[in-house]
Structure 1
């Protein structure tokens, strides 16, 4: 049983607070306890203090936390302190102090001393309880958010995979029209892409080199389709670190670049630059915008899902900037990777 067990178990927390507060408010008096009778009377004194704190916790504190009535809570707390200070004074003076040496001076046999002791115990116990309950609540909320994000991510991936499949077969169809004799070779290449997708879809993170190899294969497939009329530049640089990234996260931006940048026959281009250094991935994509825009069938599901996936997987660890600049479209993505 360690600190983690105490933080996560409500009952262990209650026992820990009980023992901690008991030791805190009796440690100065242990030297005066010389018998079991003295110990029991000291325990009775402490449990009056503890009962007062628990009454405030269960009956008065909800007025402040749930009903949001601070003035009523302060009034009732003051009344309860006054009543218990009288009770504690009478019990300690008439019973406890006569049977053990739990006081060192006459000041301890006054009402205001008992009032101060009750207030100190209340702050100590309630403060400890509220800190631990806040920890439990925050952990529960974090767990709910993680489960929600994972469920949401699974839905996004389920939508994204058919989207990639649809686009890939469209590419294969376009290539087969241009080079029917190469259909069998291209089908094998597409099968490798789909196998990669199936094998890595359920993984949380994969090596960046594997993802880049997948992107390279896709770019080569597009080069077969539109390379004769579209200038394609693709570069990848790395500092050879052992980095990992969420799978199928970059491909959507590259798909869109080819879909819109290579949809005309007039001076079109697609420029892809991926660089990984010092735990950060940088991807810059430029593609041409045709003068005579051709209607491109697009549901935009892939792009929306990818942006949402970035938000879930890399919160505050990515930056995405996309904009049109004259006759070209730019996408700049920065992602902080895990090693």
Structure 2
């Protein structure tokens, strides 16, 4: 019901009707054109039609000369000529008809040609200004709707890529563990299923609590400790008070954590991954540092990092700062998000 009413209120036709009624009340139904009979009402409507018609002729035929062709002098010339012709018509109507049936005859100044030009100019500014404001609102609304639709499509596309990307990496993790520790495989499969359930259930949400995201990251780190803890030094420090009070886009931080393990620990012993997560003055701080192998066993497509960069830009725009440094021996990520 609310949606239909909103659609009706925002319809172009209704906005034009409201503008028409507003103009009629403002320039006709007032104390200087006193409507005392059906005849005077008819004359008042004729008077208003001239005012409104003058403004609409300018709107649809003359204003495009200024806005689309950018010819200011030509627009001003035609506007002045139209103003003179319309003032002549209004002055004739006022002197010969309106003063006999309305309140105008008590104020001779209001029946002068100069006064009619002033009324025409005032109505032109009022009606054109209102119509331009309404048209600007419509264009901005259409633009915002297109941007929103584009962002939704982009987010859906990124999530479609993120889902198999995450599944591919977790299956590789289980595959690696199953060779060395086959007895741990059932337990790890159960833990991975919980991770996948979180990923499937939450990627469609706009935000999740920091608490849920941290629990997800912690579970993944525990999984990696089972896989490579014997040859990799893993440090995870989380310093967040009241994690339920803050929200963040799901799976946003995880991509950088996953990247550190996937590409920083693949081929070398004595590797390391350091992760520090905190919230300070309403800003989330994520710092990750991992070792870089001299020889990589596989070629990275960086799909996860690129998609996350795009998500950051769409979701947080100017409210985040991302610094990535890739040195010879270390890969560092420093992310700051204003929550």
TM-score (norm 1): 0.90
User: Which of 55, 59, 76 does residue 78 from structure 2 map onto?
Assistant: 76
Aligned length: 335
Shift of 1:269: 1.1
Q: 1:275 aligns with which of 273, 278, 282?
A: 278
Q: Is the 8 A contact 1:264 1:294 kept in 2?
A: yes
Q: Distance in 2 between matches of 1:202 and 1:300?
A: 22
Give the Cα separation in 1 of the matches to 2:156 and 2:93. 63
Q: Cα distance, 1:11 vs. partner? A: 2.2
Aligned match of 1:209: 211
Partner Cα distance (1:70, 1:216) in 2: 65
Q: Which residue in the other structure is 1:62 paired with?
A: 64
Contact 1:29 1:102 in 2 (8 A): no
Q: Residue 284 of structure 1 aligns to a residue in which SS?
A: strand
Instruction: Quote how far apart the aligned CAs of 1:31 are.
Output: 7.9
> How far apart in 2 are the matches of 1:324 and 1:262?
15
Matched residue, 1:102: 104
User: 1:73 deviation in Å?
Assistant: 2.1
Correspondence 1:187-202 to 2 at 5 A: 187-202=189-204
Q: Does residue 1:11 correspond to 2:13, yes or no? A: yes
Query: Which residue is 2:249 aligned to?
Result: 246
Q: Does residue 172 of structure 2 align to residue 165 of structure 1?
A: no
For the 8 Å contact 2:32–2:103, the answer to whether it is kept is no
Shift of 1:278: 4.8
Q: How far off its partner does 1:148 sit?
A: 0.9
For 1:118 and 1:14, how far apart are their aligned partners in 2?
19
What corresponds to 2:220 in structure 1? 218
Secondary structure in 1 aligned to 2:298? coil
Distance 1:287 1:245 in 2: 24
Distance 1:175 1:307 in 2: 30
Distance in structure 1 (CA, Å) of the matches to 2:35 and 2:122: 22
Q: Is residue 300 from structure 1 mapped to residue 283 from structure 2 by the alignment?
A: no
Structure 1 residues not aligned, in runs of 5+: none
Question: 1:118 — aligned with what?
Answer: 120
2:23 equivalent in structure 1: 21
- The aligned counterpart of 2:177 is 175
CA distance in 2, matches of 1:6, 1:53: 25
Q: In structure 2, list runs of 5 or more residues that go unmatched.
A: none
Pick aligned residue for 2:45 from 43, 46, 69? 43
2:139 maps to 137
Contact 1:287 1:328 in 2 (8 A): yes
Q: Residue 263 of structure 1: SS of its match in structure 2?
A: coil
Contact 1:171 1:225 in 2 (8 A): yes
Relative contact order, higher structure (CA 8 A, sep 6+): 1
Q: Provide the secondary structure at the position in 1 that maps to 2:286.
A: strand
Q: CA deviation at 1:326?
A: 6.3
Please report how far the alpha carbon of residue 281 of structure 1 lies from its aligned counterpart in structure 2 after TM superposition.
1.9
Give the distance between the partners of 1:78 and 1:47, measured in 2 at CA. 19
Q: Hey, what's the Cα distance between the residues in 1 that align with 2:151 and 2:125?
A: 38
Q: Offset of 1:23 from its aligned partner?
A: 2.5
Q: Secondary structure at the match of 2:219?
A: helix
Distance (Å, rounded) in 2 between the aligned partners of 1:14 and 1:158: 43
Deviation at 1:27, TM superposition (A): 5.6
Matches within 5 A, 1:252-271: 252-271=255-274
Residue-by-residue CA offset, 1:113-157 (whole Å, 9 max, x unaligned): 211110110000010011011111101110111011101110111
How far does residue 6 in structure 1 lie from its aligned partner after superposition? Answer: 8.2
Matched residue of 2:174: which SS?
helix
The whole-number CA distance in structure 1 between the counterparts of 2:89 and 2:237 is 81
- What TM-score results when the alignment is normalised by the length of structure 2? 0.90
- Greater Cα offset, 274-283 or 296-305: 274-283
